Structure 1
Amino acid sequence: MKVSLQSEITLYPLSIRKDKKNYIVEEPISGDFFELPEIGVDAIQRLEKGENLAAIEKALKEHYPEEEVDIIEFVEQLVELGLVQHVDGVQVHREKEKQAKSESGFLWIPQWMGRIFFNSLMNKVYLLLLVSNIFILILNPEFFPHYKDIFLFDSMVLNVLTYLLISLVLIVIHEFGHILAIRSQDLPAKLSIGNRLIFIVFETDLTQAWKLDPKKRNILYLAGMSIEQIILFLSFGFMLLFPNASFVGIVSIIVLDIFIKSIYQCCFYMKTDVYYVVENVTGCYNLMESGKVYLRSFLKKHRKSAKDHKEMFQDEWNLVRIYSVFYIIGVFLTLLLTFVYFIPQLYYMITTVYLNIMGAGDRAAFWDAIAFLVQTMLMLILLVYLARKKRREN
């Protein structure tokens, strides 16, 4: 659909509010949110008043002399984003009509239930628990998780199933923390399944959090880790009070799983909960994308100068450089976890299974090794399926 300076533009109803640096624009019908600078919001408000495009372009050039203004290109971008309802009285076809997210999303959970776990007092409690857990670990180094903590039984199949079950339960609890937090704000949430690296994960869609101010959004992003601090504190308590109890092995797996996932949250080359908090605090909502561009530029034959980089990232120059450092640190953290936990665990499992297949154990050990191989193949197939599904969606 062609747009000209004489075109009459009708937008869908939009909600606009100021954020840290720019403005957040919500299109309520689809539930989509967009970040726009002041000049873009000014143009939208003038369109909503019914001003013609030629007058809008002239006014913007006068008010923003340092900006390049092309109102036709801007309107075409609005069309692509699905924000334009009519052009010259003709309905604009959107490729995919979405149902409003507010129609579903754990609305059966009452707001008061979410407020029990997420309020000003509990937020301080979670911080206190985090500090307490760090001190407990420092004072009791024997609680520091070991890669062999997952091997409770002689049966490798039972070991893997036990770990996967505990990990799955903890993932669900983590995501339910996000759901309770967003319901405490009387907003809907959506739960989906995906994968990060080799891990199968549940993911809570917190898109509706953009309705809130940045401080409240941080509570939603940290909600899962906050609930984990309760579990970790209770686990350490059981290990202190009942050091020789039979269930301490299960508790050790819980500590190991939460510990690894907490380190993983600091791997900023992925969009983790902590990454979103950093993005939210800085007001720079494309840190990862900018960081990748910055780091990639050093691999080219003709490296950009510092001046070129500053012009590229403008006022986000220092943030992008700092983020790039943490991006690299995140990669090293992943390698550290791999060499300290994952590779030793894998080596132990492969060695044990190989010896059992070769007859080092009894008949039960042999069939346990065969079942472990089948189990591993099924997990790999599931991971490949999820990866391909995610690629198709993208």
Structure 2
Amino acid sequence: MATVSPDLDQPVRLHPLTYLEEGDEVTVGRADIDSYGLFPVDGAALLRRLEAGESPNAAARWYTEQYGEQVDVAEFLEVLEELELLVKDGEEAPQATGPVRWQRLGRALFSPPAWACYGLLVAAAVAAVIRTPDLLPRYPHLFFTHSSLVVLTLGIVLGQVPWILAHEAFHALAGRRLGLRSTLSIGRRFYYVVFVTALDGLVAVPRRKRYLPMLAGMLLDVLVVCGLTLGAAGLRGSDGAAGVVYRLLLSMAFAVVLRLAWQFYFFLRTDLYYLAITVLGCNDLQTVARQQLRNRAVRLLRRPERAVDESAWTDRDRDVARWYSWLMLAGYVFLTTTLLTAVIPTGVKVTRMAVHKLDTNLSPANVADVLVFLVLNFGELFLAGYLAARSWRRRTRTAAPAAPPAQAA
């Protein structure tokens, strides 16, 4: 890591910064690399003096005159360096860039005409369901054919992956319309494998503008259910291939409804979790809640040396985590109970049925049907286990380095 110049009488160079003032805190950071820090109002004011070209010592004297307190400006510069806000020696500060890619598309998708089209689509779907109640998504719609392979491949896997990617794309486009960068990755929520769109730049956006990027994915899910329902309505009563497509559309619609319901598992950091912490004014509620539970446990076990330092918690996170931590624990207990009493027994039964099916028919088509079914049925659990093991190894390497590192807070 490059070190800060010891000459505190010379101005420092800073990257282009963004500021968002909220109450007695200011979020400051770099939009080009999504690196942000939370500063008190006086700290942000000091940073603005440095950005205006004052030397660290001159800015420190101004701070003392303004607030009546001394500031360790060298330590302050170290914080800026850790956040990568300082331009290093020999490095050129990036110039302001133009609009991010797909920004125009994002604005078009969330423009007033687009919202009018979305409203008409939802109204038409509701009217179709009222007229034909059989179109309402229901559990039996999942099994639109007798082939387990076709059900999993077309209805659940291939029939859902495009909609999942579209869900994440709506998150990204809703953020890009605000000029935010985004990244897509594969992550894990307990034993679920998920796609994750990172919009770190939202922390530098006023809270009222954060809600749409957070809920855009669920909006897309609703539109997909409505579109699939209307498509099925047009094919209702058909025979042959059209009849298969009719049943497939209803199957996909119900699977999307299941994913919408999954968003209410907010303790798994779903879209509704991020909505909740924004409304509640929290910063990192999930981490604080986990650490509160850990500290309660170590106090009960009388192992205070293993407690987590609470000094980094914000007051709001601390207050909300007092009740949210118990809700989160109950949620994990519920999912663990479901895993032990439903998921695993169902998996065992499905495996037995597959083996029995092989005993009665060893034709290539039947063998392929069974093997692909088992891979698709259990692949998510194995992938979730792999991601969990990889995350644990990374944490272990970080927690137990070979040599004392220069750590950044």
TM tier, smaller = 0.7 to 0.9
Alpha-carbon distance in structure 1 between the residues aligned to 2:90 and 2:36:
19
The one of 263, 266, 282 equivalent to 1:265 is 263
In 2, Cα distance between equivalents of 1:17 and 1:360: 68
CA distance in 2, matches of 1:336, 1:377: 18
Deviation at 1:332, TM superposition (A): 5.4
Query: Which of 272, 281, 298 is equivalent to 1:274?
Result: 272
Does structure 2 retain, via aligned residues, the 8 Å contact 1:264–1:334?
no
In the other structure, the counterpart of 2:404 is none
Please say which of residues 200-209 and 167-176 is displaced more in the overlay.
Answer: 200-209
Tell me the CA shift for residue 228 of structure 1.
0.8
Per-residue Cα deviation, 1:259-292 (whole angstroms, up to 9, x for no partner): 3322332333333222222233333221122222
Secondary structure, counterpart of 1:82 in structure 2: coil
What aligned pairs does 1:289-308 form with structure 2 within 5 A after superposition? Answer: 289-301=287-299
Once residues 347 and 122 of structure 1 are traced to their aligned partners in structure 2, the CA distance between those partners, rounded to angstroms, is 47
- Counterpart-to-counterpart distance in 1, 2:113 and 2:244: 35
| Contact 1:182 1:206 survives alignment (8 Å) | yes
- CA change 1:180–1:45 in 2 (3 A) is closer
Aligned to 1:355: 356
Query: In structure 2, do the counterparts of structure 1 residues 82 and 391 end up closer, same or farther at CA, with 3 Å as the change threshold?
Result: farther
Contact 1:31 1:100 in 2 (8 A): no
Unaligned runs of at least 5 residues, structure 1: none
Q: Distance in 1 between matches of 2:167 and 2:280?
A: 25
- Name the amino acid aligned to 1:215: R
Per the alignment, residue 22 of structure 2 pairs with 20
| Cα 1:366/1:279, change in 2 over 3 Å | same
Taking structure 2 as the reference length, the TM-score comes to 0.71
Could you tell me which residue of structure 2 aligns to residue 11 of structure 1?
Answer: 13
Q: Using the aligned pairs only, state the percent identity.
A: 22
Partner of 1:117: 109
- The structure-2 alpha-carbon separation of the partners of 1:311 and 1:227, relative to structure 1 and needing over 3 Å to count, comes to closer
Aligned twin of 1:323: 324
User: Against the structure 1 CA distance between its residues 120 and 32, is the aligned structure 2 distance closer, same or farther, given a 3 Å change threshold?
Assistant: farther
One-letter amino acid matched to 1:301: R
Give me the whole-angstrom Cα distance separating, in 1, the residues matched to 2:312 and 2:38: 21
Aligned residue type for 2:220: I
Q: Distance in 1 between matches of 2:331 and 2:90?
A: 44
CA shift, 1:76, in A, is 0.9
SS in 2 for 1:84: coil
Q: 2:149 aligns with which of 148, 154, 157?
A: 157
Query: Does the residue aligned with 2:29 lie in a helix, a strand or coil?
Result: strand
The one of 201, 214, 221 equivalent to 1:221 is: 214
1:1-394 mapped onto 2 (5 Å cutoff):
1=3, 6=8, 8-21=10-23, 22-57=25-60, 59-60=62-63, 63-64=66-67, 69-85=71-87, 91=89, 107=101, 109=102, 111=104, 113-119=105-111, 129=122, 143=136, 145-146=138-139, 150-162=142-154, 163-210=156-203, 212-237=205-230, 242=236, 245-301=243-299, 313-328=314-329, 330-331=331-332, 334=335, 338=339, 342-343=343-344, 346-357=347-358, 359-361=359-361, 363=363, 364-373=365-374
After superposition, the C-alpha distances for 1:103-135 in whole angstroms (9 at most, x for unaligned) are 896x2x461x433431357568569959x97xx
The 3 A distance-change label for structure 1 pair 293 and 388 is: closer
Deviates more, 1:326-335 or 1:339-348: 339-348
The answer to whether the Cα contact below 8 Å between 2:185 and 2:196 also exists between their aligned partners in 1 is: yes
Structure 2, unmatched stretches of 5+, are 396-409
Q: CA offsets, 1:47-91, max 9 Å, x none?
A: 2244444454455456556x89433222111112211225xxxx1
Count of aligned positions: 374
Q: What SS is found at the alignment partner of 1:13?
A: coil
In 1, distance between residues paired with 2:366 and 2:96? Answer: 51
> Secondary structure of 2:165's match?
helix
CA distance in 2, matches of 1:248, 1:233: 14
SS of 1:297's partner is helix
Deviates more, 1:330-339 or 1:228-237: 330-339
> How many angstroms apart in 1 are the aligned matches of 2:99 and 2:191?
30
2:289–2:324 Cα contact (<8 Å) kept: yes
CA, structure 1 residues 34+338, in 2 after alignment: closer, same or farther (shift >3 Å)? same
Residue 185 of structure 2: SS of its match in structure 1? strand
2-structure distance, mates of 1:187, 1:287: 23
Distance in 2 of aligned mates of 1:311 and 1:80: 16
* TM-score normalised according to structure 1 size: 0.73
Moved more, 118-127 or 216-225: 118-127
After superposition, the Cα gap between the structure-2 partners of 1:115 and 1:77, relative to the gap in structure 1 and judged at 3 Å, is closer
How far the C-alpha of 1:224 sits from its partner, in A, is 1.1
**CA, structure 1 residues 299+9, in 2 after alignment: closer, same or farther (shift >3 Å)?**
farther
Q: Note closer, same or farther for the CA distance 1:277–1:347 as it changes in structure 2 (3 Å cut).
A: same
Deviation at 1:221, TM superposition (A): 1.4
